Amino acid sequence: MSRSSLLACCLALLTPLVPLAHAADADRTHEYTLDNGLALIVQEDHRAPTAVVQIWYRVGGAYEHDGITGVSHALEHMMFKETESLATGEFSKIVAARGGRENAFTGTDYTAYFQQWSADNVEESFRLEAERMHRLVISDEEFDKEINVVLEERRLRTDDNPQALAMEAAQAVAYQTSPYRQPIIGWEADIEQMTAADLRAWYRRWYVPNNATVVVVGDVDPEAVLALARKHFGPIPARDIVPPKARPEVPQRGTKRVEFGSDKARIPFMVMGFKVPVLTTARAGGEVEEWEIYALDVLAETLDGDASARLPRSLVRGRELASHIDAGFSATSMLPTLFYFSAVPREGVSLAELEQAILAEIDALKQEPPSSEELARIKTQVVAETVFERDSMQHQATIIGSLESVGLDWRLKDDYVDKIRAVTREQVRQVAMKYFTPDTLTVAYLEPEVAP
C-alpha cells in the first residue's frame, strides 16, 4: 500500500508523491551553492548527536543508451574501490572505524552515496566524498572482479526472481523510446561486455561538482557545514555537462501485452501500467497542468492509500479476487512514468478476471470520484505523514536529494499538504478519464509453469 514503508531508499521514491516534511522545514533548512556549482542543502535536526550526509549525482539509468545499460550502477560499485589517495577498501575502513554506516543506490534519475554517523564526522564525509568525486581510480583488475559481483546481483534481484522479471518485461514493453524501458542494473549482455574504460568515460562525464547535490541532515550548524563544504569541495573545478539527448516516449497506440511462464514461479502475478505525466512534465509547460499530478496522487490514495481504500476493500475483501494488490506512481520521477497496479489473484481466480476487476474499479472512479469522506481520510493521512516522516533523518535527506536531482525544488515538500488539500473530486474524475485509457496501458502476466 502506498503509505507504508517510506524508509527504504528505493521505496521512498515510489511513494505516491513526496512524503512530506513539516511546514516549518523552511526555517531549519538552508540552501547554498558553491562557486563551482555544487549545491548544498542542510537541514537541522538536533534530537540526537548524529547526522546523515548524502551526495547525489544527476546520472542514472535514464541517462544511458543501448549497449551501455547498467554503467551508472556498475560505476557506483567502483566508487567504493581505489582513489588516488586511498587504497581499495580504505574508504570503507575509515567510515567503519568511526562508527559509520554507508551505502549507495542507483536509480533511473540519480546515483546517491551516503554515510550515517556522529555529527562530528561530517567533515570526514566531505573529505572522502570530495576525494572520490575527482580522484577515483578504476583499475582493470578491480573492475574485473566487481563486474562479477554486479552479475551476481542481477541474478539475485532479477533473473532468479520471476516477479522482478515480469516488472522488467512490463517496462521494456511499455516504453518504446523512453530510457525508462532499460533496467537500472542493465541487460545481462551489456554488463558482460562492459569495460573499465566505459566506466572511466562515464565517471569523467558526470562526476563533477556542478552535477552534484550534497544533503546534510542532523545535529549540525549550517554555516559550519558550508565552511567545510567550501574547504573540501570548493577546490574541485567545474566542467561542462553535456546532457543526453531527449528521448521522449512516442505516443502509444493500443494496449500492449506480455505474457510468460516461469518454472521458478509458484503463483500467478500481474502488472498493469498506465502512462502518466509527472511534476516535471507539468513544470515544462504544455498541456499538462500541475494540479493533474496532485489529482493523480489523490487517485492513487483513493485506490490503495491504506487498508480502507477501494482496492483492498472491494478486491481483497468484498469480492475476494485478489490475495494482494498494490497501486501507485512516483510523481517525482524525472520523466513521465507508469501508474502501476500489481496483483496476485486468489486461488481459482484468473489473471484476466483480476485485470477486468481492476479496470472496473478505475471505471468506477470515473463515475464515482472520491467521496468527501475518502478525501477527508486522505488529507488527514497526508498531514499525519508529514509529522511521522520527521522521525527519520535519512528519509528527510532522501526526499530533498531526490527532488533536487530530478530538477524539482526541495521546497516542494513544504507545499505538498496544501496542494493535496486543494484537489477536488471532479479533478480526480478528470485525470481518471484522461490518463486511464486502453492507449496508455501495458499489461504483463506471469504464470507458473512446470518444467518440461
Give the residue from 318, 329, 330 showing the smallest Cα distance to 364.
318
Q: Which stretch binds other proteins (CB under 8 A): 104-112, 198-206, 245-253, 410-418?
A: 104-112
297 is a site residue for other proteins (CB under 8 A): no
User: Toward other proteins, which CB reaches closer, 94 or 359?
Assistant: 94
Which residues, 416 to 445, sit near other proteins by CB under 8 A? Answer: none
User: Toward other proteins, which CB reaches closer, 6 or 423?
Assistant: 6
390 is a site residue for other proteins (CB under 8 A): yes
What pairs with residue 378 in β-bridges?
A: none
185 is a site residue for other proteins (CB under 8 A): yes
Q: How far is CA 111 from CA 173, 202, 223, 450, in A?
A: 25, 12, 26, 39
Closest separation between CB of residue 13 and other proteins, Å?
A: 6
Q: Which stretches of 277-386 are assigned E, i.e. beta strand?
A: 322-328, 337-345
Is 141 marked active-site? no
Give the residue from 328, 356, 332 showing the smallest Cα distance to 342.
328
Which residues, 113 to 172, sit near other proteins by CB under 8 A? Answer: 116-118, 144-149, 151-153, 155-157, 159-164, 167, 171
User: Toward other proteins, which CB reaches closer, 107 or 209?
Assistant: 107
What pairs with residue 57 in β-bridges?
A: 111, 212
Residue 329 CB coordination number (10 Å) = 25
195 is a site residue for other proteins (CB under 8 A): no
User: Which entry of 44, 64, 76, 389 is annotated as an active-site residue?
Assistant: 76
Residue 177 CB coordination number (10 Å) = 11
Give the residue from 398, 392, 299, 391 showing the smallest Cα distance to 340.
299
Whether the CB-CB separation of 104 and 119 falls below 8 Å is answered with no
Closest separation between CB of residue 237 and other proteins, Å?
A: 27
Q: What is the distance between the alpha carbons of residues 150 and 437, in angstroms, rounded to a whole number?
A: 38
Phi and psi, residue 212, nearest 5°: -130, 150
What pairs with residue 256 in β-bridges?
A: 442
Give the residue from 5, 100, 3, 13 showing the smallest Cα distance to 400.
13
User: Toward other proteins, which CB reaches closer, 172 or 238?
Assistant: 172
Closest separation between CB of residue 33 and other proteins, Å?
A: 26
255 is a site residue for other proteins (CB under 8 A): no
User: Toward other proteins, which CB reaches closer, 257 or 317?
Assistant: 317
Q: What is the distance between the alpha carbons of residues 332 and 19, in angstroms, rounded to a whole number?
A: 11
Which residues, 212 to 241, sit near other proteins by CB under 8 A? Answer: none
Residue located via cell numbers 531526490:
402
User: Toward other proteins, which CB reaches closer, 34 or 196?
Assistant: 196
Q: Is 422 helix (H, G, I), strand (E, B) or coil?
A: coil
Per-position x/- string for 10-49, each x denoting binding to other proteins as judged by CB under 8 A, each - no binding? xx-xx--------------------------------xxx
Which residues, 303 to 362, sit near other proteins by CB under 8 A? Answer: 305-309, 312-313, 316-317, 320, 323-324, 326, 328, 330, 340, 342, 344, 346-347
Which residues, 63 to 102, sit near other proteins by CB under 8 A? Answer: 73, 76-77, 80, 88-89, 92-93, 96-102
Q: Which residues are catalytic?
A: 76
